[in-house]
Amino acid sequence: MESRAPRGGSRMKQGISLAIILLFGLVAIAQQSDNSTSSSAAGAAATQSASEREPLTSPRPKDFWDGDDPNLVNLITHPFANKKYVQRQVTPIRDRINELEQITAENGRQIKDADTRAQQGIQAASEKTSLADQHASDAANKAQLAQTAATEASARVSSAEQMVGNLGEYKASAQTEIRFRSGQTALSKTAKDALDEMAGPLKDQRGYIIEVRGFAPGQGQAAIRSSQKMADSVVRYLVLTHSIPVYRIYEMSMGNPATTGAGKSSSSARVEVSVLKNDQVASSQR
């Protein structure tokens, strides 16, 4: 009986060892199938865009070994954390963090570009506004100048109308006659003395006008041209010697009138000079 017991015990041990080996083989085959399934799922998930990815979920072991080799050492140390285990847990988180950093950087660049374009648009609008303000200011200045010119012109027209309306109020104040020799237009000393005596009192006065009328013997245009030259000599002397304003002198070339006021023909070359005064105009301009 003692010699048979060892034989039965050895056979039992061999059966247990064979069962363990078969169990390990079945576990390894299942793990490889799980790994291939997980790798194909990971490849499909990698094709999705960042916006379509689902939130990270807590890792769950797919089997007892969870990626470790099915051996005796891993059987003893599992499920204690080791380096490979930690890497498997951290790698998805690190990938997602990198992806978020890239998205954040892209959003920052887009925000910066939008801000730059906005600043450029604001600057362009400000420049156009300044230019429009400048044009408006120039237009306002031109309008003001035009208004001022119109006011001055209106004042001048009013003054001229007033002067014209008061022409009938001018009265003869002094009168003299300047005679010329036939064919001559130069003023003699006697003629200059007569003009000096007439123009002297007119200094610093305003309400007056001087009427100069030239007469000459002859006929037609020849007489008119001759009377024009004599009248020009008188006007030139009054303006240059006595500083009489030209706008106060009214010159007329009469030529050779058929008759005088007495009804007799006149053949003498002469210039009649008359000073007309308007006391109302003189008093209003003081």
User: Is the bond into 92 cis (omega within 30 degrees of 0)?
Assistant: no
d(CA 257, CA 220): 10
Residue of 46 and 172 predicted with greater confidence: 172
d(CA 258, CA 266): 7
Q: Which two tokens stand for residue 123?
A: 């600057």
pLDDT at site 278 = 80
**Stretch among 76-90, 98-112, 116-130, 139-153 having the lowest mean pLDDT:** 76-90
> Which tens digit of pLDDT belongs to each residue from 58-73?
556 555 556 666 666 6
Q: Which amino acid is at 54?
A: E
Fold topology of 169-284: 60s Ribosomal Protein L30; Chain: A; (3.30.1330)
* pTM as predicted: 0.40
What angle in degrees, to the nearest 10, is found between the helix axes of 220-242 and 189-199?
Answer: 60
Domain ranges of the chain: 57-165, 169-284
Q: Which residues pair with 272 in a beta bridge?
A: 177, 213
d(CA 28, CA 47): 29
- 42: pLDDT confidence band, cut at 50, 70 and 90? very low
Name the nearest CA neighbour of 221 among 257, 255, 249. 255
> What does pLDDT average to over the chain?
75
Name the nearest CA neighbour of 234 among 276, 193, 192. 192
- 181: pLDDT confidence band, cut at 50, 70 and 90? confident
Average pLDDT over residues 248-276: 75
- 195: pLDDT confidence band, cut at 50, 70 and 90? very high
**Stretch among 74-88, 162-176, 248-262 having the lowest mean pLDDT:** 74-88
Strand pairing class (171-180; 249-255): unpaired
Residue that has been written with the tokens 């140390």 in this structure: 77
CA angle 167, 168, 171 (to 5 degrees): 90
> Which tens digit of pLDDT belongs to each residue from 44-57?
444 454 455 566 56
By the 10 Å C-beta count (0-12 exposed, 13-18 middle, 19+ buried), 212 is classed as buried
Q: Which two tokens stand for residue 275?
A: 């000073």
Q: Which two tokens stand for residue 21?
A: 């080996």
d(CA 178, CA 259): 19
> Which tens digit of pLDDT belongs to each residue from 199-219?
988 888 888 899 999 999 888
Q: Above 70 in pLDDT, residue 74?
A: no
Average pLDDT over residues 111-123: 91
Q: Are 250 and 212 in contact (CB under 8 A)?
A: yes
